[in-house]
Amino acid sequence: MQRMGMVIGVKPEAIAEYRRLHATGSAEVNALLSACGVRNYSIYLREPENLLFGYWEYHGADWTADARRLDGEPAIRAWLGQTDPCQQPLASAGPGEWWSAMEEVFHLD
């Protein structure tokens, strides 16, 4: 199992919409994530800094392949078409980076 944490900005004017989208969610997207080994997935919002922190546990053998599979799924692409306009990459994000990966510096079971 691999723990993954990532962070991105959320546009202040889009917070209500982002909350609404996640309150109803997408059963199809959730099933696809589960099928690709994503478990224990949470997204946290930090205001007033307007940051989203995402955390999940990957229970698979090849995250690169599973991520590629997810990227090709029409339901995922449709979901991202709704959520991405609410978000904004960090100023420190690299070229083409949307959510910025974070380094795990501590864990307690």
3-state secondary structure of 2: strand
Task: Tell me the angle at which helices 63-72 and 74-83 cross, rounded to the nearest 10 degrees.
Answer: 80
Per residue of the chain (109 residues), what is the pLDDT tens digit?
999 999 999 999 999 999 999 999 999 999 999 999 999 999 999 999 999 999 999 999 999 999 999 999 999 999 999 999 999 999 999 999 999 999 999 999 8
Query: For the whole model, what pTM was predicted?
Result: 0.91
pLDDT of 1 reads 95
**Residue owning tokens 């990966």:** 101
Give the pLDDT of residue 93. Answer: 96
- CATH class of the 2-101 domain in this structure: alpha beta
Boundaries of every domain in the chain: 2-101
**CA-wise closest residue to 32 among 1, 76, 83:** 76
Residue whose C-alpha is closest to residue 52's, from 3, 5, 92, 105: 5
Instruction: Output the pLDDT for position 65.
Output: 98
- Return the pLDDT at 30: 97
